[in-house]
């Protein structure tokens, strides 16, 4: 058993999975979100709206050993992202300071949207960040705030998260989703359970004295062309019809590497889309 504690700010899908993984190892977990009835059993609730600068009434008297900032914007525009990722983080850091609390490390969960590469390049944590969209720009600003917080901090840039309840692509394939095969449109993804396990792994590593880098990419082992993913899903699900239209929601194409995280000893349970989507589809039957 462990006597370590963590506060998960934004304890939703990935945060809730993280809480369960850590509690299974004996960690004490508090979870901050607007609707605390949705927290996993065993998580100490902190009801709060991150847009409100007032410290939540349930803010703990004792400093958590670790702080994980893992929110999802409820409003998908620049103002919503600014409120969730920058203003919300600033409020949480202010509440820590107000209580005189200092966690051992802050983990800020970011996104691969900070990368603008689009020609199928392999990229790692040292690749240039020059985001063209507001989501990447705001995330980069929030990362800077975390790294300049005065706390030891690392950012985790998660790629396309999928899993139970995150099944947009499955729905599209069932409707005959058609994508171009050339040039290949590479996509990066990570199962929600693996996203949580990476965060948990980094927390445990830090607690055991491992020196962490300031950035990690959260991605599986197989950044595959979208056409390959669609073809595999069509065959697995027995889809034979094609849509009349060719539809692709995004134009970016890059291949993210998880070598840095794997060098520490982490490995995804779902190393590619095949294992991950097969598990989702078997679970739905």
Indicate if the pLDDT at residue 285 is higher than 90: no
Could you tell me if residue 47 is inside a domain? yes
Q: What is the CATH number of the domain that holds 89?
A: 3.40.50.720
Residue pLDDT, tens place only, 123-157: 999 999 999 899 999 999 999 999 999 999 999 99
Residue among 32, 77, 85 at smallest CA distance from 59: 32
Could you tell me if residue 116 is inside a domain? yes
pLDDT at 179: 87
- Identify the residue whose tokens are 């970011």: 110
Report how far residue 171's alpha carbon sits from residue 75's, in angstroms, rounded to the nearest whole number: 23
Could you tell me if residue 30 is inside a domain? yes
- Under a CB-based contact definition with an 8 Å cutoff, are residues 114 and 160 in contact? no
Residue pLDDT, tens place only, 183-210: 899 999 999 999 999 999 999 999 999 9
Report how far residue 46's alpha carbon sits from residue 209's, in angstroms, rounded to the nearest whole number: 29
Query: How many domains does the chain divide into?
Result: 1
User: Predicted confidence band at 181 (pLDDT cuts at 50, 70, 90)?
Assistant: confident
Residue pLDDT, tens place only, 8-41: 999 999 999 999 999 999 999 999 999 999 999 9
Could you tell me if residue 176 is inside a domain? no
Cβ-in-10-Å burial (0-12, 13-18, 19+) of 239 comes to middle
Secondary structure class of 281 (helix, strand, coil): helix
Could you tell me if residue 228 is inside a domain? no
> What residue numbers bound the domain in which 78 lies?
5-163+189-221+257-268
Residue pLDDT, tens place only, 216-232: 999 999 999 999 999 99
């Amino acid at each position: 058993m462990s006597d370590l504690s963590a506060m998960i700010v934004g304890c939703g899908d990935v945060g809730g999975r993280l809480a369960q993984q850590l509690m299974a190892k004996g960690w004490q977990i508090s979870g901050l979100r607007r609707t605390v009835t949705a927290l996993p059993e065993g998580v100490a609730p902190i009801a709060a709206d991150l847009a409100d600068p007032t410290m939540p009434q349930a803010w703990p008297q004792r400093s958590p050993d670790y702080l994980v900032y893992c929110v999802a914007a409820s409003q998908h525009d620049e103002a919503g992202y600014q409120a969730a990722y920058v203003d919300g983080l600033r409020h949480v850091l202010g509440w820590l300071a107000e209580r005189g609390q200092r966690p051992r490390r802050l983990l800020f969960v970011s996104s691969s949207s900070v990368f603008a590469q689009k020609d199928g390049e392999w990229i790692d944590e040292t690749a240039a960040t020059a985001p063209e969209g507001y989501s990447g720009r705001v995330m980069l600003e929030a990362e800077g705030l975390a790294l300049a917080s005065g706390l030891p901090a690392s950012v985790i840039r998660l790629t396309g998260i999928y899993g139970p309840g995150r099944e947009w692509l499955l729905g599209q394939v069932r409707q005959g989703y058609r994508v171009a095969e050339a040039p290949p449109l590479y996509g990066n993804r990570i199962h929600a359970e693996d996203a949580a396990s990476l965060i948990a792994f980094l927390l445990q590593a830090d607690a055991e004295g491992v020196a962490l880098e300031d950035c990690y990419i959260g991605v599986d082992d197989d950044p595959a062309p979208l056409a390959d993913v669609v073809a595999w899903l069509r065959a697995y699900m027995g889809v034979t019809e094609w849509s009349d239209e060719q539809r692709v929601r995004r134009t970016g194409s890059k291949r993210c590497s998880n070598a840095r995280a794997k060098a520490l000893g982490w490995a995804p349970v779902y190393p590619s889309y095949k294992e991950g989507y097969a598990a989702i589809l078997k679970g739905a039957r």
